[in-house]
Amino acid sequence: MTTLQTATAVETEKMSAAVAMNSALDLAMAKDDKVVLLGEDIADPIGGVFKVTKGLSTKYGKGRVRATPIAEQSIVGAAVGLALGGYRPVAEIMFCDFLTLASDQLVNHAAKLRYMSGGQSSVPLTVRTVVGNSRFGAQHAQSLEAWFMHTPGIKVVMASTPTEAKGLLTSCVFDDDPCLFIEHIHLEYTNKEEVPTGEVTIPLGTAAIKRPGSDVTVITYGPAVPWSLQAAETLAEEGISVEVIDLRTLVPLDLETVLESVGRTRRAVVAHEATQFCGPGAELAARITEELFGELEAPVTRVGATYAPIPFAKSLRAIPDADDLVDAVRRITGQ
């Protein structure tokens, strides 16, 4: 097993996030026969519409890799049942938007059964889903992670690199609580990097400083990480040193890393693709303000999607990008 911090001279291969997650599931299924997959179109030959489960039904059989009817409520409901029955199900919900159809099972059951049963039940299920503006329109584009952060009892995880996607997904599969693992449609295939071929785990609740800096801290996660790093690069040319923190998991939340960083830089911007209004950034801004009010040089600022459904027309941009973040940093650094 490789934990990223201690990885030395392990065998690697160039992988996209989709391939890295496929490897994570493959290794998890090989290691533990209680790992079972279910979701729409996930069996071969298609192997999932995003190909994350490609080859797994051929390798492990259709008993453990189940292509389901188009019925999200029963996909997540069955995952709850499997978890109660001693298995570690990984359910694929094709788009984050379709979690609306499964939210009774996720919110009212998966998240609450341990609590309501006085600790009798464990619900070790993982729901994998995809966000990101994908040219499908407003019903295939929403970043709904804040809804689930707002539901006690469910962990919320978003990776930004192939290696982390593999490590975080593995941790979710073997976690004893329900985990929502949110992928990003553009990150699935675009970035490739050397990823360990063996098992990788990244403990849930550990943020990573992706770029050290001293003037301002950008707190971000998932698809906003690449464009936050891009913004930091632009700002460096202007002489502004930006520290970029990738939260990696939203619940549990590594506030310690965030507060330590902002304590140093004394300025913070939270950047994400979820709707800014009542988004994850609101909670982070409140926490930072509560803990570090006297030390801040400027109000904590947020960069998130504007308050509108995700538009189809390209002229209408709801989701922020590097330029928006650059502007926000300039504002709070007085540039």
Partner 1 sequence: MTETAHQVATAAGTMPSVADLERMYWVMVTTTLADSRAQQEAKAGKLQAAFYPVRGMEAVCAALGAVLEPRDRLVSTYRNLGDVVAKGVPLKSIVAELYGRVDGVSKGKGGPMHLQDDEVGMTATTGVVGSGLPIAAGLGIAAQLDGDGKVVAVTFGDGATSIGAYHEGMNMAALWQLPVLFICQNNRWAEHTPLADYTAAPEFAQRAASYGMTARKVDGFDPIASWRALSEAVQAIRSGGGPVFLEFETYRLTGHTGTADYSYVPKDELARAMTRDPAPNFRTWLIDQGLVAAERLDAIEQEAESAVAEAFAFGAARPQPDVDQLHEDVFADKKLVLDLL
Active site positions, annotated: 140
Q: Which of 31, 51, 55, 81 binds partner 1 (CB under 8 A)?
A: 81
Q: How far is CA 91 from the centre of its chain?
A: 15
Identity of the amino acid at 30: A
Q: How many CB atoms lie within 10 A of CB 113?
A: 18
Binding mask 86-105 for partner 1 (x = CB under 8 A): xx-x--------------xx
Q: Which stretch binds partner 1 (CB under 8 A): 49-57, 66-74, 262-270, 315-323?
A: 66-74
Q: Which is nearer to partner 1, 117 or 214 (CB)?
A: 117
Binding mask 265-304 for partner 1 (x = CB under 8 A): ----------------------------------------
Identity of the amino acid at 261: S
Q: Which of 10, 30, 32, 117 binds partner 1 (CB under 8 A)?
A: 117
Closest separation in Å from C-beta 284 to partner 1 = 12
How many CA atoms lie within 13 Å of 142's alpha carbon, on the beta-carbon side? 16
Largest CA distance in the chain: 60
Closest separation in Å from C-beta 105 to partner 1 = 7
Q: Which of 10, 30, 71, 316 binds partner 1 (CB under 8 A)?
A: 71
**Contact by Cβ (8 Å): 271, 242:** no
Closest separation in Å from C-beta 83 to partner 1 = 8
For position 118 contacting partner 1 by CB under 8 A, the verdict is yes
What is the Cα–Cα distance from 132 to 130, expressed in whole angstroms?
7
Q: Which of 54, 66, 248, 267 binds partner 1 (CB under 8 A)?
A: 66
Q: Which of 54, 128, 155, 184 binds partner 1 (CB under 8 A)?
A: 155
Identity of the amino acid at 264: R
Q: Which is nearer to partner 1, 250 or 310 (CB)?
A: 250
Closest separation in Å from C-beta 269 to partner 1 = 22
Q: How far is CA 282 from the centre of its chain?
A: 18
Residue given tokens 């919110």 in the structure block: 107
**Contact by Cβ (8 Å): 305, 273:** yes
Q: Is the dihedral of CA 298, 302, 307, 313 positive or negative?
A: positive
Ramachandran bin of 36, using left for φ above 0, alpha for ψ from -120 to 50, beta for the remaining angles: beta
In this structure, the strands spanning 179-184 and 126-131 are parallel
Q: How far is CA 119 from the centre of its chain?
A: 27
Q: Which is nearer to partner 1, 20 or 75 (CB)?
A: 75
Q: Which is nearer to partner 1, 84 or 182 (CB)?
A: 84
Pick out residues in 181-220 that bind partner 1 (CB under 8 A): 205
Binding mask 221-260 for partner 1 (x = CB under 8 A): ------------------------------xxx-x-----
Q: Which is nearer to partner 1, 234 or 289 (CB)?
A: 289
How many CA atoms lie within 13 Å of 166's alpha carbon, on the beta-carbon side? 29
Closest separation in Å from C-beta 102 to partner 1 = 9
In this structure, the strands spanning 200-201 and 35-39 are unpaired
Q: How many CB atoms lie within 10 A of CB 197?
A: 16
Pick out residues in 6-45 that bind partner 1 (CB under 8 A): 36, 38
Closest separation in Å from C-beta 256 to partner 1 = 8
Q: Is the dihedral of CA 250, 255, 256, 261 positive or negative?
A: positive
DSSP symbol at 12: E
Binding site for partner 1 (CB under 8 A): 36, 38, 63-64, 66, 68-69, 71, 73-74, 76-87, 89, 104-105, 108-109, 113-122, 152-153, 155, 176-177, 205, 251-253, 255
